Structure 1
Amino acid sequence: MAASCTQRPALQSNSSEQNRFMEKLMAKILRFYDQQSLIDVTFKVSNPTAVVPAHRLILAAASPYFENLFKGKQGNNPVIEINYIDSDTFERLITFCYTGEAPITVNNVGAMLKAAIVLQLDDAINSCVDCIMKNITERSIQVAYVLERETQCERLKQKLIEYEIKNFMEISRRVEFLNFDVEKLQHILESDNLNITREEDAYDAIKRWFNYDVPAHQEQLPILIACLRLTQFDADFLLTHIQPLPGCELLAFKAISWIREPAARTKINMRFTEPRVTCEKTFLVFGSTEMNHKLLQYNKAEDKWQKYASLKIDYTDFTMKFSNDNLILIGGYKNGATLNIVRSWNIRNKTWQNLPAMNQARRSHLTAELDGKIYAIGGLEGNKVLSSVERYTPSDGWEFVSSFIFPKSFGRAVTLNNKIYVLGGRNGFGDLKLVECYNPDSNTWTSCADMTECRVSPCVRVHKGHIYVLEKYSAKQSSQSVERYDPERNTWSKICCLNAEWARIENVFSFDNKLWSFGHPKHDDISSVSVYDEDNDRWVKKCSLPNVDRYTYNIVPVALLSSK
């Protein structure tokens, strides 16, 4: 009895000699195949009729299908009929058994894949799937979906899911997406590598899928909403968008509790509490010194700021809005004239685009974004204080909505509970502590309770269902007055000062579940960044920004920033 190969000593002690031996062996086998020498089986294949000679040992080693075939009843027959694979495809795959290669093309890949699955040629299956994915186009992906359903090929299914995860924004807008089953969608949405720039992109895709067939999808909706990184939304979004969805009330409640009660997080069962890899966020800062403008990005790992881009802007007093992938400059002032121009700079591609101009020229105005619409509010036209408000949508351009109750400029606007709140500012009578609220559903403005102090261009932040306001510049140079608005009670209350060491606070952000402040300390002119240590009730200095005249801050997905 022959000894097992595993019991024999190595053929050669030198690996290069082993390789030469195997190359000579394979060359000899291929020569036997080309010359049809020592053939011990012939296949008779139809469509069109052809005979394909081969060696049993080679085929059995290449495929469990052939191994089992030759061990069966007809295995000793010199001629074996194959009626379920066309002759051209069958001959290509027999060649593959010898060489590990086959002429797979876009035109024959469907037939090759189906036959390779029947013949249990895993490597040929992989080659077919690679060919399909390498040549994916908007048209061919439909063919790939059909082929995956017909063959139930697990590798093709997995590769398509990987493609859908990588190209989610494009795929989610196609008709095919609306017919994805819930298991497939769940697999995609659970991925940490889902290629989106913000979690709202995944939510929007789920809503499109849900609205396409509400009766059929309603029961499955909570399964998909649970795949979202709900803790990355703010409480306002959860209340207005997630909580009203059928079956999603508890999911919204748990996420809101997790956000608002950090001490209780260990007791709250949340599937996902960290952002996706592609949704990791960072600070992007727009800084200006006279006519020099630049964007700086924060490198969290190295705790330092890096230049992202320089922008050429030859006018001033514009209002800036970060919207999705774009930095939008609205209005402004140049050579004594107030402007109505609107320009958009794409953060990812670093390119400019002109948008439709506003109906009214504005400077020192307020801006807000609500439900994908951008609002330009009040401001100045020349020296005239404006009360007009207009709203931009890509489909309709700019259109006027209801005007303010009181004209104003140099205020601040925030969104909360699907409404816009405008706070403070200045008009012809002086500084203001007025607060007005705009309801887009009724297109009306209403007066809210006044702030406790007049504030011009204050820092304003929505946090845990309240509006926090602090003076941007402290007259006393010793503390920062902070007050908080409760929209349910329509009341203001003073809270502890932000930090007695700061002379000027530029902005405050909630980021990484912590409170970050940007501003100028009393003792130098470097704009510094600090993070609030809640446990020890103190501010910890993180890093410094180069000193410039002004900053505009925003939090953006890291994946949005171009590496070029």
Structure 2
Amino acid sequence: MATSASQTLALQRNSWEQNRFMENLMTKIFNFYDEQTLIDVTFKVSNPTALVPAHRLILAAASPYFENLFNGNQGTNPVIEINDIDSDIFERLITFCYTGQVLITVNNLAAMLNAAIVLQLDDARNRIVDYLMTRIDEYTLQGAYTLERETQCEVLKTKIIEYETKNFMEISRSNEFLNFDVEKLQRILVSDNLNITREEDAFDAIQRWYNYDVPARQEQLPLLIACLRLTQFKVDFLMTHIQPLPGCELLALRALSWIREPTARPMTNMRFTEPRGISTTNCGDKTILAVCSELTPKLLRYYKTENKWQEYESIKFDYQCYGTILKYGNLLFIGGYNGATYNIVRCWNIRNKIWYYFQDMVQARNNHCVVELNGKIYAIGGRDGKNVLSSVERYTISVGWKFVNRLIVGRFRAGAVTLNGKIYVMGGSNGNTGLNSVECYNPDSNTWTSCADMTGYFAGIAAHNGHIYVLGNGDGCRPVERYDPHQDTWSQICSLGVGGGNIACVTLDNRLWAIGGKSKSAGKTCVSVFDEEIFCWLESGSLPESAVYNSFVVPESLLSPM
């Protein structure tokens, strides 16, 4: 019987001595098998009849089937008959118990999988399934479907679903697809990794399947439509394509309510509300959406592969000095000024390109900061007429807008960013002079605390890799400083060589981007990227618009096709 000390030593497999011991031991076991030495059991297998010698200890360690067999009534027999597995297949799997290698071909694959399942050789089963999936074109998908039905192998079922998810567009056009049962289709369509470029692709596939046998599939259609990300469709698509389908009216109405009334979302029963994840074959999952100019804002979309910017939409809007934030797939235009200061919040859906209602703030504000933290929206400071505001209000779905603790120093035209679960507000003006002071809000304690002052004044701001970067004002060269929240210290980094004009900062693909300012070389509105390895800013193109108001990183799946 092994002692605890010997068990501890046996677990030290990372040591060189232990590895050498195990290699020598396995080599000896292989030799025993090859030379048929110390054999203590022989299997008599049919079709054709053959005798397969082995060692009980090895087989019992490799499979629960053999362990239970040898512990049973017939387990002590020197010869044991096996009648439901061909002799060649059985011998290959016995060899696997010794070597961990299994000789698979397309021709013996089905028999090997059946036998591995019977003998409870899970590792062999997994390798057979992997072999099948790497040769799916040769074996055929229809053959894989048939084998999965015959064996009821859950591993194979999972692998097939993964394959169907990855190759959905091709499979949805095949004849096999038309005969999928509704449960199988549901398993595919609910996947967050379904490889489609737009949600309409999944809808088109459902329509093709449904039209193949309308009378028999009419009751099943709502089950499949419910698997779609309905909130990603445009409103007119929901009304003209989804709502008229039998049994789908309520699904369409819920999606319409979700899109049009963000404040009513907690009461709206939606199965899926977010876009699907992006698969590895479509990894360009996020891009930049720049808001240019304040009156009649123009949205510019960044295309990574071409490294170019193109107009996405021009919005009819007659306010200015508002705060903007991306929330629920919408751009929220919060507060603002148009002859007077307002507390209205306008909500523009990025994908559907339509305005919707959102609850008004308590306080009218312009030139204020807007940030999101832990799913809550904060409107901070600003101005109402000649009054500089220190008030802060927070929006939650359950309560709406409600005041929280005030700023230490009232300010407008400041910058704000979230980092490490806190809000940092910096710079701006108090009405008499520019500010370089910084405040930090802790939502857990509902308190503001003072931080170390900046050296310069705020123009653009972003949180990036655990620090806060602030781009200052300048004509031809903008100073850049970085804040370390753990040390409460600021340090100067490489200046950004662009001229005047508004500038916005975002983080995309783990790189810090500065969007705006005039390029010295071309005189165009510049896009710059900070290279942390060489510690300098590099120009990365230009914008077709000059006045950059704000920028957001958005999922590409959120944007409607151009």
TM-score (norm 2): 0.55
1:466-477 residue pairs with structure 2 within 5 A? none
Partner SS for 2:136: coil
Q: 1:144 to 1:560 in 2, by over 3 A?
A: farther
1:243 corresponds to which letter in structure 2?
Q
Asked if the contact 2:275–2:558 (Cα under 8 Å) also holds between the matched residues in 1, the reply is no
CA distance in 2: counterparts of 1:31 and 1:119, whole angstroms: 24
Partner SS for 2:18: helix
Q: 2:306 aligns with which of 305, 308, 321?
A: 308
CA distance in 1: counterparts of 2:77 and 2:134, whole angstroms: 41
How far off is 1:216 after superposition?
2.2
Q: 1:177 to 1:225 in 2, by over 3 A?
A: same
CA distance in 1: counterparts of 2:558 and 2:106, whole angstroms: 34
The residue aligned with 1:26 is 26
The residue aligned with 1:356 is none
The residue aligned with 1:207 is 207
Asked if the contact 2:45–2:86 (Cα under 8 Å) also holds between the matched residues in 1, the reply is yes
CA distance in 2: counterparts of 1:532 and 1:499, whole angstroms: 19
Partner SS for 2:211: helix
Asked if the contact 1:41–1:77 (Cα under 8 Å) also holds between the matched residues in 2, the reply is yes
1:166 corresponds to which letter in structure 2?
K
Asked if the contact 2:301–2:311 (Cα under 8 Å) also holds between the matched residues in 1, the reply is no
Q: 1:560 to 1:239 in 2, by over 3 A?
A: closer
Asked if the contact 2:168–2:196 (Cα under 8 Å) also holds between the matched residues in 1, the reply is yes
1:48 corresponds to which letter in structure 2?
P
CA distance in 2: counterparts of 1:201 and 1:79, whole angstroms: 59
User: How many pairs are equivalent?
Assistant: 354
2:2 corresponds to which letter in structure 1?
A
Partner SS for 1:43: strand
Q: 1:152 to 1:535 in 2, by over 3 A?
A: same
Asked if the contact 1:514–1:532 (Cα under 8 Å) also holds between the matched residues in 2, the reply is no
How far off is 1:511 after superposition?
1.8
2:103 corresponds to 1:264 = no
2:349 corresponds to 1:510 = yes
Q: 1:262 to 1:9 in 2, by over 3 A?
A: closer
How far off is 1:219 after superposition?
1.4
Deviations 1:405-438 (A, max 9, x none): xxxxxxxxxxxxxxxxxxxxxxxxxxxxxxxxxx
Asked if the contact 2:192–2:276 (Cα under 8 Å) also holds between the matched residues in 1, the reply is yes
2:4 corresponds to 1:165 = no
1:308 corresponds to which letter in structure 2?
E
Q: 1:100 to 1:224 in 2, by over 3 A?
A: same
How far off is 1:3 after superposition?
3.4
Partner SS for 1:206: helix
1:428-439 residue pairs with structure 2 within 5 A? none
How far off is 1:9 after superposition?
4.2
1:3 corresponds to which letter in structure 2?
A
Q: 1:548 to 1:271 in 2, by over 3 A?
A: closer
Partner SS for 2:92: helix
2:266 corresponds to which letter in structure 1?
T
The residue aligned with 2:238 is 238
1:69-80 residue pairs with structure 2 within 5 A? 69-80=69-80
Q: 1:223 to 1:4 in 2, by over 3 A?
A: farther
2:36 corresponds to which letter in structure 1?
Q
1:42-441 residue pairs with structure 2 within 5 A? 42-137=42-137, 140-278=140-278, 282=287, 298=302, 308-309=306-307
CA distance in 1: counterparts of 2:111 and 2:79, whole angstroms: 24
Asked if the contact 2:259–2:349 (Cα under 8 Å) also holds between the matched residues in 1, the reply is no
How far off is 1:470 after superposition?
7.4
Asked if the contact 2:232–2:351 (Cα under 8 Å) also holds between the matched residues in 1, the reply is no
Deviations 1:27-64 (A, max 9, x none): 11111111101111111112222111001111111111
CA distance in 2: counterparts of 1:532 and 1:229, whole angstroms: 27
How far off is 1:19 after superposition?
1.2
Partner SS for 1:191: coil
Asked if the contact 1:40–1:78 (Cα under 8 Å) also holds between the matched residues in 2, the reply is yes
CA distance in 2: counterparts of 1:69 and 1:548, whole angstroms: 74
CA distance in 1: counterparts of 2:73 and 2:135, whole angstroms: 42
CA distance in 1: counterparts of 2:320 and 2:148, whole angstroms: 68
Q: 1:470 to 1:173 in 2, by over 3 A?
A: same
How far off is 1:73 after superposition?
2.2
Partner SS for 1:96: helix
How far off is 1:215 after superposition?
2.2
The residue aligned with 1:10 is 9
CA distance in 2: counterparts of 1:60 and 1:143, whole angstroms: 33
Partner SS for 2:74: helix
Deviations 1:195-230 (A, max 9, x none): 111111111111111111222222121111111111
Asked if the contact 2:225–2:248 (Cα under 8 Å) also holds between the matched residues in 1, the reply is yes
Q: 1:548 to 1:116 in 2, by over 3 A?
A: closer
The residue aligned with 1:379 is none
Asked if the contact 1:161–1:188 (Cα under 8 Å) also holds between the matched residues in 2, the reply is yes
Q: 1:6 to 1:96 in 2, by over 3 A?
A: farther
Asked if the contact 1:41–1:80 (Cα under 8 Å) also holds between the matched residues in 2, the reply is yes
Asked if the contact 2:275–2:557 (Cα under 8 Å) also holds between the matched residues in 1, the reply is no
The residue aligned with 1:301 is none
CA distance in 2: counterparts of 1:35 and 1:284, whole angstroms: 71
Deviations 1:357-396 (A, max 9, x none): xxxxxxxxxxxxxxxxxxxxxxxxxxxxxxxxxxxxxxxx
Q: 1:84 to 1:514 in 2, by over 3 A?
A: same
Runs of at least 5 residues in structure 1 that lack an aligned partner in the other structure: 286-295, 299-304, 312-319, 323-458, 462-468, 472-476, 480-495, 502-507, 517-529
Asked if the contact 1:278–1:558 (Cα under 8 Å) also holds between the matched residues in 2, the reply is no
2:272 corresponds to which letter in structure 1?
F
CA distance in 2: counterparts of 1:164 and 1:12, whole angstroms: 41
Partner SS for 1:53: strand
CA distance in 2: counterparts of 1:99 and 1:478, whole angstroms: 74
The residue aligned with 1:411 is none
Deviations 1:534-553 (A, max 9, x none): 996999985646466689xx
CA distance in 2: counterparts of 1:478 and 1:283, whole angstroms: 22
Moved more, 137-146 or 242-251: 137-146
RMSD: 4.3
1:160 corresponds to which letter in structure 2?
I
Asked if the contact 1:59–1:67 (Cα under 8 Å) also holds between the matched residues in 2, the reply is yes
2:165 corresponds to which letter in structure 1?
I
How far off is 1:284 after superposition?
8.2
Q: 1:69 to 1:532 in 2, by over 3 A?
A: closer
CA distance in 1: counterparts of 2:353 and 2:50, whole angstroms: 73
CA distance in 2: counterparts of 1:4 and 1:83, whole angstroms: 41
CA distance in 1: counterparts of 2:7 and 2:554, whole angstroms: 62
Partner SS for 1:10: helix
CA distance in 2: counterparts of 1:35 and 1:210, whole angstroms: 62
The residue aligned with 2:392 is none
Q: 1:196 to 1:283 in 2, by over 3 A?
A: farther
Q: 1:40 to 1:175 in 2, by over 3 A?
A: same
CA distance in 2: counterparts of 1:460 and 1:559, whole angstroms: 20
Runs of at least 5 residues in structure 2 that lack an aligned partner in the other structure: 280-284, 291-299, 322-333, 340-346, 356-368, 383-412, 416-502, 506-514, 517-524, 526-541, 547-552
Partner SS for 1:25: helix
Deviations 1:100-148 (A, max 9, x none): 1111122222111111011110000000001011112176212111111
